[in-house]
Structure 1
Amino acid sequence: MQSLISKPPNKKKHLNTPNSSNSYYLFFIAITAATFILFVFYSRQTDPRHICSTVGPLTPAQTIIADEFATSTIPLVTIFHYATAHDIPQQTKNEIRKPLDVLQSLGPCNFLVFGIGHDALMWDSFNPRGTTLFLEEDPKWTISSLRRFPILRAYTVRYNTRLMEANALLLSYKKNCGAVDGDDHPLKDDRRCRLALGEFPNEVYDRDWDVIMIDAPRGYFPSAPGRMAVIYSAAVMARGRKKAGVTHVFLHDVDRAIEKLYAEEFLCMKYRVGGVKKLWHFVIPPAVNVTDTAHGFCLNG
């Protein structure tokens, strides 16, 4: 690796002169600065589980649960956690039952979950031997969750939309979305379409997801990211599926206007197979032309 410190010109060393003292002092400052820069660079590349001291210590109860992962089987740890936890899953018992039935019928499968909530360990345990991946907008919450439940696979992701833009984005997507060149994933690196989540970790694009749970990001105040881009991108993933089968998409909080509006536009009511309270269930087949949005998603099938 090329040194970050430029080499000074060759000079004779005069150990007892003022200029020599200044040179050593400047050299020491340069070494310190370079070390700090390298530390910052590599710390940002580190797995969040190794830098989680920034979010504070775990409580005694949380520490016990985290330590159990080293010695106990996952189902037992899950039971232990929810038997002793004060926080309960965001969804109701009946809402949870629908995805559980699908995961049991498909398992092991690829399960993509938008959001890390108090139910994260539960969702992961419902897919034993499968791949369950969580995408969370809050880095501190991601780190905290990985400390508590080190078995989880999770990434912190960013969204560039705001709930207040939902109507405008819906009106403009046919013009700005869908024009993807090459054989790459139809979402990846798409910077023109603001509804396309194109800057996720490669693992998101490298798999066909059998089940997608949309329960994030935040969508209950105007400056929140909203779930517009997630709903659009989940529909693109399902339409672009390469292996046999269909994609099950579960959307939570459909009592809110934007979730319902975007579900009708992109997930398509003809693919809705059921729902319980605030949870809708869609079964979406792959499409022949994934990027064709000229007439809308639901008219093209």
Structure 2
Amino acid sequence: MSSKRKLFFLLIFISSTFYIFNFLKIRITTTRSPSMRLAKIPRTPKYSPFVPHKLTNQATFQEEEPFTPKELDFLSNIITRNQNRNLLFFGLNPQFLPLAEATTGGSVIFLEDDAERIQRFRLRTTYRNVTVHMVRYNEVAGGAYELLRHGREEPDCGRKTSKFFGETRCRLALSCLPQEVYRRKWDVVVVDGPRGNWPDAPGRMAAIYTAAVIARMGSGTDVVVHDVDRMIEKWFSWEFLCHDNLVSAKGKLWNFRINGTFQSDGFCPVKKVQIM
């Protein structure tokens, strides 16, 4: 075989090998690329039905949606009906501070679970008649469904045994708050904390329940709940503040008027929504 003939076959072999290699490379890349792209998309976890419908990721957990001007006017009208009022806030929202300042003769208490926010408040602002207390919540938003069942079945959570002094088996009772919170008669209670916008974050179940019990210790209390477009706030308000007591609403705010009494068959006179 001549050298030219051998060189011809060698070139054909090299070209064929190069062609086959590139073909296999393209096939491998095409086969792997979809799974690689899918691997970057996080799977959506399954939560209980009571998870708020607006979930944020952990990176933006500290962000919160501000009150609209109409919502602030609505809340201001409730508070300023009588300037000498006692105001209790679950959640230290800076937008509430001017409203608290307008209450000249009453007592104003904020209950906040964010230590950093409390520190910023103490360093940057001075408001008379305003006290801020640190509070810790043990129940997370993702467990709200099971906690509602507990609230219905646990005798210590019932109307006759609701208490905050001493031992209690009710997981909804905030029994470690300052004593003045339980002893004072509150004219307005605003539930805007904890944030409750992530399944692993503290939810507002205990805050709403505690507001309902505290309101019934007074002679007439307005309880205002924020973010009622979220399932936790909506269901726990229906359960313990009662739809019959809902007197007004604006935006994401519900205003309940509690007259200081319990119904004979529980917190609310209406039939409870069935949970499975």
Confirm or deny: 8 A CA contact 2:190 2:224 kept in the other structure.
Answer: yes
Show the counterpart of 2:17. none
Structure 2, unaligned runs of 5 or more = 1-63, 271-276
Tell me which residue corresponds to 1:280.
Answer: 254
* 1:139 positional shift: 1.4
Supply the distance in 2 between the matched residues of 1:221 and 1:141 (Cα, whole angstroms).
18
Which of 142, 159, 184 aligns to 1:164? It is 142
Aligned to 2:196: 219
Distance 1:275 1:143, change over 3 A: same
Aligned to 1:231: 208
Shift of 1:216: 0.6
Q: Residues 214 and 180 of structure 1: is their aligned pair in 2 closer, same or farther, counting only changes over 3 Å?
A: closer
Report the equivalent of 2:81: 105
Q: Partners of 1:189 and 1:158 in 2: how far apart?
A: 18
Residue 144 of structure 1, CA deviation: 1.4
1:207 has 2:184 as partner: yes
In structure 1, the partner of 2:163 is 186
Runs (5+) with no aligned partner, structure 1: 1-87
Which residue in 2 is equivalent to 1:264? 238
Q: Shift of the alpha carbon at 1:97?
A: 1.4
Q: Is 1:129 the equivalent of 2:105?
A: yes
CA distance in 1, matches of 2:107, 2:116: 23
Secondary structure of 1:196 counterpart: coil
Give the match's secondary structure for 2:133: strand
1:269–1:179 Cα change, 3 Å = closer
Q: Which moved more, 1:158-167 or 1:172-181?
A: 172-181
Cα pair distance change 1:89/1:166, threshold 3 Å: closer
CA contact (8 A) 1:188 1:197 kept: no
Name the % identity.
37
Offset of residue 167 of structure 1: 0.6
Alpha-carbon distance, 1:237 to partner? 0.7
2:120 to 136, 144, 160: 144
Residue among 114, 117, 126 paired with 2:93:
117
Sort the Cα spacing of 1:89 and 1:223 in 2 relative to 1 into closer, same or farther, 3 A. closer
Report the alpha carbon displacement of residue 89 of structure 1 after superposing the two structures with TM. 8.7
TM-score, with structure 1 as normaliser: 0.63
Q: Which residue of 2 aligns with 1:198?
A: 175
Deviation of 1:117 after TM superposition, in Å, equals 1.7
SS of residue paired to 2:110 = strand
- Secondary structure class of the residue paired with 2:177: coil
The alignment partner of 1:133 has SS state of strand
The aligned amino acid for 2:255 is H
1:201-249 deviations in Å (ceiling 9; x for gaps) = 11211201110011110211111111000001100111122xxx31001
- Give me the whole-angstrom Cα distance separating, in 2, the residues matched to 1:223 and 1:132: 30
Residues in 2 aligned to 1:262 and 1:288: alpha-carbon distance in whole angstroms:
16
Aligned pair count? 206
Which of 52, 67, 70 is the equivalent residue of 1:94? 70
